[in-house]
Copies of this chain bind each other. A is one copy, B any other.
């Protein structure tokens, strides 16, 4: 059983390496990669089936790397080990995990014990392990009626990219008015109308305000926007 570690921070990488060896004494090689791109390569050439991966790396982040790894071998077991439980990350992961795949999501703030436990659970027992806090975000995101729908989220991303209503309508095969309806719901759900200070009407451009709110609530983050930007270029550049 070989394990691939994809993590850009040297200290964390060393720590992970040690943790993996301690938690899985029966494992074979432990390979390291310092960014998503190299991680993909290693996973491909060495046919690794167990991956510990950071989200938030330069040069292809964890979500993108995981997506391509899973696309090539959907039965790969991946444990995400991240600093944050941003809704954007949670949603990003949820969008790419294949049917029936086993994965885990633990925070770096968790204890070493929890990390080791998660390593064994995911890699040996093939059990999904989702950090308590991440679990909370998941429920708030998907269960609750205040959470954004997938469609709403996609429109939010398009808006954040700077697309026009018309452009979004074309991309999503909707009428202009439908896009605007979606946007209204979005504004409602994000609470864009709540103004800081009193009696301030017309102070906000709802469209950009929505992006600002989404960013500060971590519904969006920079890496999600970058990913979307690449997708856009690809679909437009053809």
On A, residues with C-beta under 8 Å from B are 9-12, 15, 83, 108-109, 159-164, 166-167, 192, 196-197, 200, 202-213, 215-216, 221-222, 225-226, 229, 232-233, 236-237
User: 5 extra interchain contacts, Cβ-Cβ under 8 A, other than A162-B192, A162-B208, A215-B222?
Assistant: A11-B11, A161-B209, A164-B205, A197-B233, A211-B211
- Inter-chain contact B11/A205, CB cutoff 8 Å: no
- Inter-chain contact B236/A162, CB cutoff 8 Å: no
**How far is B206's CA from A197's CA once the two chains are assembled, in angstroms?**
27
- Inter-chain contact B11/A211, CB cutoff 8 Å: no
Provide the residues of chain B in CB contact with A216, threshold 8 Å. Answer: 222, 225-226, 229
**How far is B164's CA from A2's CA once the two chains are assembled, in angstroms?**
55
Q: Least Cβ distance of A57 to chain B in Å?
A: 11
**How far is B222's CA from A225's CA once the two chains are assembled, in angstroms?**
12
- Inter-chain contact B161/A212, CB cutoff 8 Å: yes
- 25 A-B pairs whose Cβ atoms sit less than 8 Å apart in the complex: A10-B109, A11-B11, A160-B208, A161-B208, A162-B209, A162-B210, A162-B211, A162-B212, A163-B203, A163-B205, A164-B203, A164-B205, A166-B202, A166-B203, A167-B200, A167-B202, A196-B232, A196-B237, A197-B233, A197-B236, A200-B236, A208-B208, A211-B211, A215-B222, A222-B222
Partner of A221, one of B202, B222, B229, B232: B222
Provide the residues of chain B in CB contact with A109, threshold 8 Å. Answer: 10
Q: Least Cβ distance of A197 to chain B in Å?
A: 3
